[in-house]
Structure 1
Amino acid sequence: MKRDEERKKRFRYYTLNFTGQKARMTIVTMTLALAALAIILGIVSVQLIAGEGQKGLAGRILHSLSGQSLGTMLAQEIPMYAALAPAGKTAEVGGYPKGIASMLLYVFTDIDTSNPLTLLGYQIPGMAVADFKLLTPDPQYNTPPTDHDFGELPPNLNPKPREKVEPVKSDKPQVYIYHSHNRESFLSEIGQTDPNRAYDATQNIEQSGKWILGDLKQSGIAGMQTTEDYWQFPFDDAYDHSRKTVEKVLAEQKELKLIFDIHRDSGARNVTTRTVHGEEYAAVYWIVGGGNKDQEKNGALATKLNEQMNSLYPGLSRGVWLRPYNANFDTRYNQDLSPNMVLIEIGGPYNTLAEVERTSKAIAKVVEAYLKAEAK
């Protein structure tokens, strides 16, 4: 009898009642959550298979969630992991929101609750430019580069593919130039007055690359330029398309010492124009892409070129600027492909091609001096 009672105590039966309103609500909520998760995973899978750029959901997640960011999430919840985890790289330290909820918000919206600029930058024109960090500590460098603001206009005006433009080619080039935003142009050259329409298929920033390489050739320095028309693709995806070009060139050309992606800034004329040796030039910004393994080397290269420019053309440079990792889009600018890459912004929509030509020839002199110094 006693053994039967012990057996009854050991084995118990539970009956779950799913007829109540609270239970039904729990089941419905769990079902909806699983369905939403399945939909998100489906979208991510499709975009990864289709190879979409960073603007897709999959790309945003992959861009936001690096090994360091996952480590940050784990460290916030597991004390032992935080103590044993290796220190993050310079490019990624401090670049992530604190807290799991904040991290997830950042992954899906690029809004960092600890950095109001990531929210304000979407709503207030000009706020996003404050996301640049100055790498050249000099009081004269007080105006950051300006992002394009198209207003109500479509980013890609007349995106129809243009006729083939012949690039500059040479054997064993040391300098390579390309243009991710190749149709960036200048108002006075194309008969426009609206800076949001300063884009043209032929009269554009590509001319700068030709002038630089032309002067370098006269100095015995071989170079090459590709003039792919990326403008026919969505503006925000230009770096994805130019990346393919750069990868191909890097695989074929082993002598390259300098790689420039040359753009035109969007600032006002008083910002993008400098008077040097009594003549007006289109000002220069040296831009370093953050969040890549070569960030420090890219920054060191840009700083050397900036110093060389200051010695030859005082006041022409607007400084070296870093676009930190936690910006609202992929900030690498393809510079993770090589430690010898720098993005250069020359002038703005209100400058003239004559001013851009002076600056291009100045850059050629700077490059020549840099290469000679490095060869010693």
Structure 2
Amino acid sequence: MAPSFEYIFFRLQKRVFTLHKVHYVKFSTILYYLGICILISSIFFWFRLFWRDDNAVTASAVDSKQSFFTDDLLKCFVNTASPTIEVLYRKGGLLPEFDFEVSLLQYMTNINLKDPLTILKNQIPVLGFVDVEKTINQTGSTEVITEEPKRELPGKTEVEVQDNKETEEINETEAISDQPLVLVYHTHTREAYIGKYKVDDVDRTLDPEYNVIRVGEELKKELEKRGIPVIHDKTVYDVPYDNSYGRSNAGIKNILKEYPTIKYAFDVHRDAFGEVITKDTLKVPNPDEIPNKSFRQKYIMSYDGKKLARVMWVVGTRRTENQNEDWHLNYAFTKKLHEALNEKVPNLSIGVETKPYGSYNQEILPDSTLVEIGSNHNTIEEALNSVSYVADAIADVIKK
């Protein structure tokens, strides 16, 4: 006898139910596998954090470390933990623009999402040994990436005609040496001040009239007026930004081979907070109307009827086993400069900061330091107004 319709329907229903059985997983099993994932992630993170080549960190990796371990990172943590503080930061216009995920990725993997070359280097390690700038220059590219070092010897004849008054001022003090004693250079050469210039990157330009090169050139002239021979290295070291300190390290050593009489070195920078001038900026901003007013106030003061950009000194405390020089020597030298500057103009020098991220190439010379003359919230004129006082302080310390 043939099976009835009800029987067939019952068997099919039972079959479908069997095929769609739901399998349950114990909660303890989920926690077990989740714990394993967290453990593996932690091991990977600490491996990336500590197992690094010390020599590479000192020069070539200091830029990426700085970009992660900043005050903005701490503010990001504080704001996350306390919404009240975040509201206060927003109200005062001080909320930092900090992308934690992007910064952490760059720190752990050396990949900068804004620089495709770093992605290629991560996937093809051999590219890390290629000097991209040198290769581009050798292939005859018409794009100028770096300038040839422009080093001017003291007393060398200029093409420009100077009036007698300026010449008398420069020769006012007899030179204490007929050979260069001081090196002025710029690891972050494109760092710019407020002004009308062609933007190369945020608050950066290759125009030497508005970046730190102009401040360095003014410092050179002021020191030579005081009888101190100077070499001003105008090489562009921060294209690309990554490994700027590695390139300036090589540049300093080459200059010292050419001019072994140099005893003092000054890496001239300007500090920064937030963004002031970008490629989308249509009008030169009024410095006193920039949102981050507290940072503007940190680096501005009035003296003798002029607005001056205040000065910060930076000493890197990190040394590797191969670097025998003691950072305390750099600190002692820099502290003398800080005190001498404030004797000239009270409170013009903010202070001396010590940073553990790297050596900032200061292990090369014990009498070397990094000086921040103003910030991206200062005009070029404000920075230039401070240079003569900085030169006075340097001259006093060198001549003692």
Q: Please, what TM-score do these two structures have when normalized by structure 2?
A: 0.53
Q: How do residues 166-315 of structure 1 correspond to structure 2 at under 5 angstroms? A: 166-170=150-154, 172-190=179-197, 196-202=202-208, 203-233=210-240, 235-267=241-273, 268-292=295-319, 293-315=325-347
Query: CA offset at residue 232 of structure 1?
Result: 2.0
Query: Could you say what secondary structure the match of 2:370 adopts?
Result: strand
Q: Please, what TM-score do these two structures have when normalized by structure 1?
A: 0.56
Q: Distance in 1 between matches of 2:343 and 2:71?
A: 38
Aligned to 2:52: 61
Query: Could you say what secondary structure the match of 1:270 adopts?
Result: helix
Aligned to 1:368: 395
Aligned to 1:359: 386
Residues 189 and 352 in structure 1, CA contact (< 8 A), matched pair in contact too: no
Residues 182 and 205 in structure 1, CA contact (< 8 A), matched pair in contact too: yes
Q: Distance in 1 between matches of 2:301 and 2:383?
A: 11
Aligned to 2:10: none
Query: Could you say what secondary structure the match of 2:340 adopts?
Result: helix
Q: Distance in 2 between matches of 1:226 and 1:63?
A: 27
CA distances 1:242-289 after superposition (whole Å, capped 9, x unpaired): 000111122232322320001110043212212233321111111001
**Structure number, greater radius of gyration:** 2
Q: Distance in 1 between matches of 2:201 and 2:377?
A: 8
Aligned to 2:169: none
Q: Distance in 2 between matches of 1:148 and 1:309?
A: 33
Aligned to 2:31: none
The structure-2 alpha-carbon separation of the partners of 1:120 and 1:216, relative to structure 1 and needing over 3 Å to count, comes to: closer
Residues 264 and 365 in structure 2, CA contact (< 8 A), matched pair in contact too: no
Task: Please tell me the residue identity of whatever aligns with 1:315.
Answer: N
Q: Distance in 2 between matches of 1:148 and 1:303?
A: 32
The structure-2 alpha-carbon separation of the partners of 1:358 and 1:249, relative to structure 1 and needing over 3 Å to count, comes to: same
Residues 169 and 223 in structure 1, CA contact (< 8 A), matched pair in contact too: yes
Query: CA offset at residue 189 of structure 1?
Result: 3.8
Residues 230 and 238 in structure 1, CA contact (< 8 A), matched pair in contact too: yes
The structure-2 alpha-carbon separation of the partners of 1:168 and 1:262, relative to structure 1 and needing over 3 Å to count, comes to: same
Q: Distance in 2 between matches of 1:361 and 1:222?
A: 15
2:377 pairs with 1:346: no
Q: Distance in 2 between matches of 1:59 and 1:177?
A: 34
Q: Distance in 2 between matches of 1:169 and 1:350?
A: 33
Task: Please tell me the residue identity of whatever aligns with 1:286.
Answer: W
Query: Could you say what secondary structure the match of 1:281 adopts?
Result: strand
- Consecutive unaligned residues of structure 1, counting only runs of 5 or more, are 1-39, 41-56, 67-108, 111-116, 128-146
Query: Could you say what secondary structure the match of 1:236 adopts?
Result: coil
- Measured on the aligned residues, the alpha-carbon RMSD in Å equals 3.9
Percentage identity across paired residues of the two chains: 25
Query: CA offset at residue 168 of structure 1?
Result: 2.9
Q: Distance in 1 between matches of 2:372 and 2:115?
A: 18
The structure-2 alpha-carbon separation of the partners of 1:163 and 1:334, relative to structure 1 and needing over 3 Å to count, comes to: closer
CA distances 1:157-195 after superposition (whole Å, capped 9, x unpaired): xx9526657443336111111000001001224277x99
Query: Could you say what secondary structure the match of 2:363 adopts?
Result: helix
Task: Please tell me the residue identity of whatever aligns with 1:299.
Answer: Y
- Consecutive unaligned residues of structure 2, counting only runs of 5 or more, are 1-43, 58-63, 79-95, 103-112, 117-142, 155-177, 274-294, 320-324
Residues 272 and 348 in structure 1, CA contact (< 8 A), matched pair in contact too: yes
1:333 to 360, 377, 386: 360
Query: CA offset at residue 356 of structure 1?
Result: 1.1
1:161 to 135, 140, 145: 145
2:349 pairs with 1:322: no
Task: Please tell me the residue identity of whatever aligns with 2:220.
Answer: L
Residues 263 and 343 in structure 1, CA contact (< 8 A), matched pair in contact too: yes
Query: Could you say what secondary structure the match of 1:305 adopts?
Result: helix
CA distances 1:308-363 after superposition (whole Å, capped 9, x unpaired): 00101111101011002xx4xxx110111110110001111121111111111111
The structure-2 alpha-carbon separation of the partners of 1:250 and 1:270, relative to structure 1 and needing over 3 Å to count, comes to: same
Residues 316 and 360 in structure 2, CA contact (< 8 A), matched pair in contact too: yes
CA distances 1:72-108 after superposition (whole Å, capped 9, x unpaired): xxxxxxxxxxxxxxxxxxxxxxxxxxxxxxxxxxxxx
Q: How do residues 141-160 of structure 1 correspond to structure 2 at under 5 angstroms? A: 154=114
Task: Please tell me the residue identity of whatever aligns with 1:241.
Answer: R
Q: Distance in 1 between matches of 2:254 and 2:97?
A: 28
Q: Distance in 2 between matches of 1:60 and 1:184?
A: 32
Q: How do residues 8-19 of structure 1 correspond to structure 2 at under 5 angstroms? A: none
Q: Distance in 2 between matches of 1:121 and 1:334?
A: 24
